[in-house]
Structure 1
Amino acid sequence: MRHWILLLIAAAALAGAGRPVSHQDIWKMKRLGEAAVSPDGKWLVYAVTEPDYDPAKTAADLWLMPADGSSPARRLTNTRGAESDIAFSPDGKQIAFTARREGDEAPQVYILPLDGGEARRVTSLPNGVSNPQWRPDGKALLFESAFDPIAMQRKERKWNARVYDTFPIRYWNAWLDEKRPHIFTLDLTSPSAKPVDLLDGAALASSRGFAGRFNPLAGGQALEAVWSPDGASVVFTAVVNLDELMYAETESHIFSVTASGGEPRLLTERGQSFASPRFSPKGELFAEHTRIPTRTRIYSLSRLARLSWPQPGKAVILTQAWDRSVSSFEFSLDGATIYIDAEDSGFDKIFSMPAAGGTPAPLLEVSRGGYTNPQATAYGLVAKYQTSAQPPELVQLKPGSNVHAYLTRLNLDQLRELDTPEPVHFWFTAKNGRRIHNLLILPPGHDPAKKYPIVIFPHGGPNSMSKDAFSTRWNSHLLASPGYFVLQTNYTGSTGFGEQFADGIERDVLRGPAQEILEAVNEAAKRYPSIDLTRQAAIGASYGGYLMNWLNGHTTQFKCFVNHAGAGNNESQYGTNDGGL
C-alpha cells in the first residue's frame, strides 16, 4: 500500500526546483520498451534500454517481475543488442523473443526458460523474423519474415540498380524491393523441423497490391498475424491495393489461412479497411476499423469492431457513436471487458467498455501525463505512464481509483534533480468559433517579474496531437531550458478532439491553423505577462515545417524559424511522396 502514489503528489515531486534539463539528461534516460503479461496475469517481462552516446556502450535487456510489484525485478538477459516481440508460452514457463545476437545476420527468434538457462535460437532466416506467437498448445510458433522471390538472382547478378514499374518505391527512409511479408510456422516438437511458409504459392501474396502495414518506427511491414483459439488457422492483416497508392485510398483487410497453408480467405468487406486482429479470451475476433476509403474525407476515426468468426460476415462497429479514435485495445482476463487507450483533449487516456458493446468510459481522470498500452493482470491493470518530463514507466492501475503505483522506477530519482515545470493546459475560443487547446511550458525557474522569449512549436501530421508526453527527439523541456516559454497549440486538424475537428483542416490547410496558432500566442501572453512578444521564434517539423513556410511568408513577428522536413511545393511533394494521397 505504501507504494501507491497520488498523481498530484507524484507530479509535484517530479517538478522540483532543480537545475534545467540538458541534452545528456534526455538522451541518457533509460527507455522502457514493450512489456508482456504472463497467461495467468501474475508476471511481467519488459524491455529496458540503457542508452549511451557511444553505441557500443548502449545496453538493452529483458527483466522479469511480479505483476503486483511485490518483489524487485530480475534481469533475464545481459546483452548489448535489444530484444523485442516478447511472447509468453501458454504455460507461462518460457518466453519467445526476437534479437540479433552474435553470428546473426538479422533478428531471429529465441526461446528462454524463465527458471534459468540460456536462450536458444530456433530460427535462422536470411531476412530476419518478427512477431513470434505461440500456438495455444505451446507446440509450435508462428512468426513473420520477408519472402524474397528473386533471392537467387540477387546473389548472382552483377548489378545493383533498382527497377520499379509502380508506386511506392520507398517508405520513409527505406527503399522497397521485391520482398513481401510472409507468415511462417515452426513445429517445436521436432529438432529437425523447418519453417513452413503459409503463403507460399498464394495468389494474394503474389498480387501486385499485396503488402503488410508499414511501421515507420519499427521498420518493415507487419501482417499482425495471430493464432485462432484452436490453433487450426492463422488470422492476419494485409493491404490489398498498395500499387494504387498514388491515386486511390489503400485498403487493408483481415484474412485467415489454415495452419498448413493455402489460399487465404477474406473475412472483412471490401470498400473498408481493418487492422490489428485480436481474439478475446472468449474466442471472439475483434479488430480496428480504420476507415471507409470511399468516404469523401481525409481523416477517419479508428473504431473498434467485432468480426464474424469463423465464417466471413458483416462486422459490428462497437464504437460507432464514440467520437474518439482507438489507439490500441486489450481484454480483461475473462474477456468480459475491453480496455482502450485513446487520445482525448490533450491527454492519452484509458477507457473501458463491455465486450458485448457500449459506450467507452474513462478508467480514471487524467490531469497530468498520460496512460497507454493497458494490459490486464491478476491484480488489475498495468499500463505505461509518462509525462513531458518523465519517460514511460510501468504502473499498476485499479479500475475505479484515481491513483497508480509505479512498478518500475527507471528514471524517477534522476528527475528529482531537474526543474521541469508542469505544463499549463489552457483553452480559448478562436475567431473562427472553434475551441482550441494548448500546452504551455514555462521556463525553468520562472520569475513573473522578468521577461522571457516564447517559442511556438506546432506538431506535425497534421493529424496528430500535442500532449503531456515525453519525447527524446523534440523534448519540450529541453527546448525551454535556455529560458523560453514553449507553446504547443492543438490547431484544427489535431486528433483527440473528435472526427470533425481533425477533418476540418481538409479545406483550410494552412491559413486557418496558422491563424489559430497566432491567436494562441496572444492568449498565452494574457495569462503570462512575462512573455516577451518582441522576442518570438517558431519551430516545426513535417506539416509543422509546412506551417513555418506559411508563417515566414505571411508574418513579421518572428525573429527566427526552424523548419525540419517541411513541404515547400505541393507539386514536387506529390512527385516524391511515398505516403500516398
Structure 2
Amino acid sequence: MIPLHRLPLGLLLAAALGCGASHAAAPAAAAAATAKHAISHEDVWLMKRVGAPVPSPDGKWAVFSVTEPAYDSKEQWSDLWIKSLLDDGAPRRLTFSKGGESAAAWSPDSRQLVFVAKRDGDEAAQLYRIDVAAGGEAQRLTTLTLGARQPKWSPDGKQLLFVSDIFPGNAGEDEVKKSFKERKERKTSARAYESFPPRFFDKWLDDKQVRLFVMDAQAGATARSLLATSKVAAMPGFGGGQGDEGQSLGAIWAPDGKSVVFAASTNRDQQARASATTQIFAVSAKGGEAWKLTADEHSYSELKFSPDGNTLFCLTQAEEAGKVYDLERLAAFAWPMRSPQPQILTAKLDRSISRYALPEGGKRVYFSYEHAGLEQLHSIAYDGGDLRDEASAPSGAINSLNAGGKALVGVWESAVNPPEVYAFNGAPKRLTAFNTEQAAAIDWLPAEHFWFKAADGRQVHNMIVKPANFDPSKKYPLFAVMHGGAANMWRDQFVLRWNYHLLARPGYVVLLTDYKGSTGYGEEFARAIQFDPLKGPGEHINQAVDEAVKKYAFIDGGKLAAGGASYGGHLANWLQATTTRYKAFVSHAGEMDLVMQWGTSDSIHGREVNSGGPVWGGLPVWREQSPVMQAGNHDKGTGFLTPILISVGELDYRVPANNALMNFATQQRLNVPSKLLVFPDENHWILKGENSRYFYSEVHGWLAKYLK
C-alpha cells in the first residue's frame, strides 16, 4: 500500500472532500498503485491545460477551455468544454477547432455562448455564437477588419458589447478597411513613434486605437462605435491596459442596459515619466460623450456589478507617489453612483486581492489572495465587515474564480496536481479529471514549507522540492531558484516554464525563497526593495541557502547552484558578480546593467521610482547595484568566477537581449566558463515545446557538469 503522504493531494482531496469527476477516480487510484516514474519533460509539456471556467447565469453549467498541447504547434488543439454543475456527469467537448476559443460569455438566459475565435477565412479574431441548448455549429457574428474581442451580453440578451480597434482618424468600418489596406501596401517597413512605449513584451506596438462597440446579437448586424464622437477617447493618452491581443477597457453593461461602464487611462502617453492610471468612465449604450465617474489618482480595474445591480465592485490601487508597489484592494460604489469616492472593503487586509467573484445570495464577495506560497478562498460582506476564511484545500493555489447564479467555480492546482476545475460552494469539489491519472503515475512529493528570520529581522518564507526516489539518508546538491517580478511569489502550483520537479529530477533539492520584494507578505515587504533592487534580496537568498543547509541534513552544503528568469535572472547575475559560494549559475532574461535596462526595456518609469531618480541624477544605486559594474570583484576573488549559463529570447522586449550579450561578453572578457543560448523565435519566456525541452536539457547538463 502506498503511504498517504506519497499520494498527490488531488487524490486525498477527492477522498476527503468528494469528487464530482467520479468517472476518473478509479483509474487515477489504480495508476497511483502502480510503479511510479520520475517526471519527464513530456509529462510537463503534454499535461492538458485547463482554462478558467465560466458558469452560466442560472448556475447550472460551466464552460472552460482545454488545450491539448503538442511539441509541434500545428498539432495542438484547444477547445471549449462544458460541465454540468448539478450532477457528477463527465464534461463534454463543445467545440472542435484547432484555432481555439477565448473570452466565452453566456447569454442571460443561459442558452447561448458567444466567444472569440480566429477560424478559416478570418484575418483577425471575430465573435462567434453557439446555441448550447439547441446544439449546432457556431455562427460568426462579426467580420470587422481589425477583429473583435472581450464580448459581453446586454442584460436583456439582445445586444453585444465588445472591444475593437480603429486607426487614427477613422470614422467607420469602411475607413478602417481602407487604412488597413494602405498599411499592407506600403513599400517601407519602417515604424514611427512619438510617444512611449514603442513595444510591449514581444511586440512592436502600432497606432491602433481601442474603442467600444455595440451590435445586435445577430449575424450580419452592424456594429456601432460608442466613442466615435467622444472627446475623452480622442485624447492622445486615452487607452486601456495592454495585453497580447491589444488594449482592454474592462467594459461591462450597467444593470439597466442603458449605459456601459469601463476603465481607461487618459495619460498613457506619459508612461515614460508617470504611471498610467485608470479611472472609471461611463458612456450611453447609444454612444456619445463618455463621462468620468471617479476623480482621483488611483487605478481601477475588474469592474463587476452585484447580482442585484445596486453595487459596483472593482479592484483599486492607490498609486502612491514615489512608491514601487501598491496593494490591490477590493472597493465598492453604491449604484447609481452617488460619490466618486469608493468604499475600500479590504482596507485592513494587508494583502493584494488576486481575483474575486459575486455569487447570488448572501451579499458576500468571495476572493483569493497570495500568502506564503498559497492562494486560498476568503469572503467579506458587501459593507466590508465580517471577513472570513472559506473552506480551501490545505495547499496549492486557486488560479481562477467566477460566479454564475449561486455557483462558485474556479481552477485549483498544486505542485503535484496539475490544474483542474473545482466548485467552491462549501468544501472544494473537483469537477474534472483531465490530468489526474497522469499525475498519479509520477514519483513526486508535495512542496515542503519553512520560515526563517533574516538578518534584517524579516520573516522569510521558503519551499523546498525533493527529487524522485528521494532518500533522506543521502546527500543532495541544492539548486536555489529565484522567482521573477520582483513583485511576485513562489506558489505551490504546477509550473510549465520552470517546473520545480523537473528541475529537481536529476537529483537536486530545489529551494524556492520569497525574498524581500515578494508579494504575499504585505505592502511593506513588497516595497522593501526600493533603493535596494538587488543587494538586499540577494542577501535573503544567501541566508535562505544557509538556513536550508542547516535545517535539512540531506542537503550537501558543498554543492550549491542558483538560477532564475527575469528578475530571478537579475538576481542570478548579481550573485554571480558578488559571491563565489555557488558552483554554477543559470540566468535567463537577466538584467546586467540597470542603466541599459532602463533605456531599452518597454517599462522605465517604475525603474526610476525604484532607484530614487533618473539615471543622470548621480544616484549611487544605478552603478552600485548593476552586476556588470562589479566586474572588479573578479580580480579580488569575490565574484565573476563561477560558471554561468546565460539564455535569452531574441524577441524579449521586457529584458532585451543586449543584457544577455553584455553578460556573455563580460564573462568571456574575464575568462569565466560561460555559455550563451539564444532563442530567435522566443520572447520573455520559452513557450515552444522543442525549445523548452532543449532549455531544460541544457540546464540539467550545466548543473551536472559543476555539481556532480
Cα distance, 1:271–1:303 mapped onto 2, change above 3 Å: same
Contact 1:34 1:86 in 2 (8 A): no
Alpha-carbon distance in structure 1 between the residues aligned to 2:405 and 2:157: 21
Note the alpha carbon deviations across 1:9-57, whole angstroms, 9 max, x for none. Answer: 99x9798872111111111110101311111101111110101112222
Structure 2 partner of 1:329: 356
1:325-368 per-residue CA deviation (whole Å, 9 max, x = no partner) reads 11111102136111112112220111111112225322125432
Question: 1:449 deviation in Å?
Answer: 2.0
Residue by residue over 1:539-571, the C-alpha shift from the partner in whole angstroms, topping out at 9 and shown as x without a partner, is: 111111111111011111111111111111111
- Supply the distance in 1 between the matched residues of 2:362 and 2:257 (Cα, whole angstroms): 19
8 Å Cα contact 1:59-1:81 kept in structure 2? yes
- Matched residue of 2:543: which SS? helix
State which of 447, 459, 463 in structure 1 corresponds to 2:487.
463
1:282 and 1:334 in contact (8 A); partners too: no
User: In the TM superposition, what is the alpha-carbon distance from 1:155 to its structure 2 partner?
Assistant: 4.3
Say if 2:275 is the partner of 1:249: yes
Secondary structure, in 3 states, of the residue corresponding to 2:353? coil
Q: Determine helix, strand or coil for the equivalent of 2:146.
A: coil
Q: 1:474 aligns with which of 474, 492, 498?
A: 498
SS in structure 2 of the partner of residue 353 of structure 1: strand
- Give 1:262's aligned residue: 288
Residue 314 of structure 1: CA displacement?
A: 1.6
Q: Aligned partner of 1:547: which letter?
A: L
Structure 2 residue 202 is matched with structure 1 residue 173: yes
Q: Normalising by the residue count of structure 2, what TM-score does the alignment of the two structures yield? A: 0.78
Matches within 5 A, 1:292-371: 292-311=318-337, 313-334=340-361, 336-371=363-398
Q: How many angstroms apart in 2 are the aligned matches of 1:192 and 1:366? A: 47
From 470, 473, 476, the equivalent of 1:452 is 476
Change (3 A) 1:580 1:282: farther
C-alpha spacing 1:69/1:465, structure 2 compared with 1 (3 Å): farther
Deviation at 1:284, TM superposition (A): 3.2
Say whether the 8 Å CA contact 2:90–2:432 is kept in structure 1: no
Instruction: Give structure 2 stretches of 5+ with no counterpart.
Output: 1-11, 20-24, 170-175, 606-708
Matches within 5 A, 1:7-156: 18-114=36-132, 115-149=134-168, 151=176, 152=179, 153-155=182-184
1:210-249 correspondence to structure 2 within 5 Å? 210-215=238-243, 218-249=244-275
CA contact (8 A) 1:30 1:49 kept: yes
Aligned equivalent of 1:516: 540
Aligned with 1:207 (options 235, 238, 255): 235
Q: Which runs of 4+ in 1 moved over 6 A?
A: 7-10, 12-17
- 8 Å CA contact retained: 2:465, 2:511: yes
Letter in 1 for 2:204: W
2:420 partner amino acid: E
1:227–1:235 CA contact under 8 A, matched in 2: yes
- Which structure has the bigger radius of gyration? 2
Q: What's the CA shift string for 1:363-419, capped at 9, x where partnerless?
A: 1254321123233456753221101132210112233x4xx3210001000111101
2:562 to 530, 535, 538: 538
User: In structure 1, what residue type is equivalent to 2:259?
Assistant: S
Could you tell me how far 1:181 is from its partner in structure 2?
Answer: 1.3
Measure, in 1, the Cα distance between the counterparts of 2:359 and 2:450. Answer: 35
In 2: Cα distance, 1:27 partner to 1:69 partner: 31
Q: 1:212 corresponds to which letter in structure 2? A: G
Contact 2:52 2:400 in 1 (8 A): no
- Measure, in 2, the Cα distance between the counterparts of 1:209 and 1:15: 56
Shift in Å, 1:145: 1.0
Residue aligned with 2:574, SS: helix
- Contact 1:85/1:131, CA 8 A, preserved across alignment: yes
Distance 1:553 1:463 in 2: 23
Structure 2 counterpart of 1:490, which letter? D
% identical aligned pairs? 42
Alignment check: 8 A CA contact 1:255 1:265 kept: yes
* Equivalent position to 2:461, from 423, 426, 437: 437
Secondary structure of residue in 1 paired with 2:597: helix
Q: Secondary structure at the residue paired with 2:573?
A: helix
Deviation at residue 572 of structure 1 after TM alignment:
1.2
Structure 1 residues 180 and 580: alpha-carbon distance in aligned structure 2, compared to 1, 3 A threshold: farther
Name the aligned partner's letter for residue 253 of structure 1: Q
Question: 5 Å matches for 1:366-445?
Answer: 366-376=393-403, 380-399=407-426, 401=427, 404-445=428-469
1:507-562 CA deviation, whole Å, 9 max, x = no partner?
32212111111111121122221111221111111111111111011111111111
SS in structure 1 at match of 2:233? helix
State the match for 1:5 in structure 2.
15
2:572 aligned to which of 540, 548, 568? 548
Structure 2 equivalent of residue 283 of structure 1: 309
Displacement after TM superposition at 1:476 (Å): 0.7
Aligned letter for 1:146? D
2:644 is matched with none
Count of paired positions = 573
Moved more, 38-47 or 15-24: 15-24
106-115 or 292-301, larger mean C-alpha shift:
292-301
- Counterpart amino acid of 1:124? T
Q: Residue 385 of structure 2: SS of its match in structure 1?
A: coil
How many angstroms apart in 1 are the aligned matches of 2:164 and 2:116? Answer: 12
What is the letter of the counterpart of residue 179 of structure 1? K
Q: Deviations over 1:468-511 (max 9, x none)?
A: 01111111111011111000001111101111111111132212
The structural deviation recorded for 1:63 is 1.3
Return the alpha-carbon distance in structure 1 between the equivalents of residues 73 and 315 of structure 2.
40
Q: Describe the SS at the equivalent of 1:391.
A: strand
CA contact 2:350–2:523 (8 Å) conserved in 1: yes
- Whether the 8 Å CA contact 1:62–1:83 is kept in 2: the answer is yes
Q: How much does 1:159 deviate?
A: 2.1
Match in the other structure for 1:193: 221
TM-aligned CA distance change 1:77 to 1:192, over 3 Å? closer
The one-letter code of the counterpart of 2:482 is: P
Q: Contact 2:464–2:511 at 8 Å: present in 1 too?
A: yes
Q: Does 1:573 align with 2:597?
A: yes
Alpha-carbon distance in structure 2 between the residues aligned to 1:156 and 1:440: 56
Q: Aligned letter for 2:156?
A: D
The AA in structure 1 aligned to 2:235 is S
Give, in whole Å, the separation in 2 of the partners of 1:192 and 1:398.
40
Q: Which shows bigger deviation, 231-240 or 289-298?
A: 289-298
Deviation at 1:577, TM superposition (A): 2.1
Amino acid paired to 1:67? L
Q: Is the 8 A contact 1:421 1:441 kept in 2?
A: yes
- 1:247-277 Cα distance to aligned partner (Å, 9 max, x none): 1122111111100111111111232111111
Could you tell me whether the CA contact under 8 Å between 1:493 and 1:503 is conserved in 2?
yes
Partners of 1:214 and 1:479 lie apart in 2 by 32
Question: How far, CA to CA, are the matches of 2:38 and 2:281 in structure 1?
Answer: 52
Whole-angstrom CA distance in 2 between matches of 1:211 and 1:335 = 36
Write out per-residue CA displacement over residues 449-475 of structure 1, whole angstroms, 9 at most, x where no aligned residue: 221111101111101000101111111
Counterpart residue number, 2:192 = 163
What is the one-letter code of the residue matched to 1:504? A
Is the 1:541–1:566 Cα contact (8 Å) retained in structure 2?
yes
2-side partners of 1:378 and 1:181: how far apart?
32
Deviations 1:156-176 (A, max 9, x none): 543231111121111111111
Asked if 2 retains the 8 angstrom alpha-carbon contact of 1:322 and 1:360, the reply is no
Going from structure 1 to structure 2, the CA distance change for 1:184 and 1:379 (only over 3 Å counts) comes to: closer
C-alpha displacement of 1:287? 4.0
Asked if structure 2 preserves the Cα contact closer than 8 Å seen for 1:15 and 1:421, the reply is: no
Secondary structure, counterpart of 1:536 in structure 2: strand
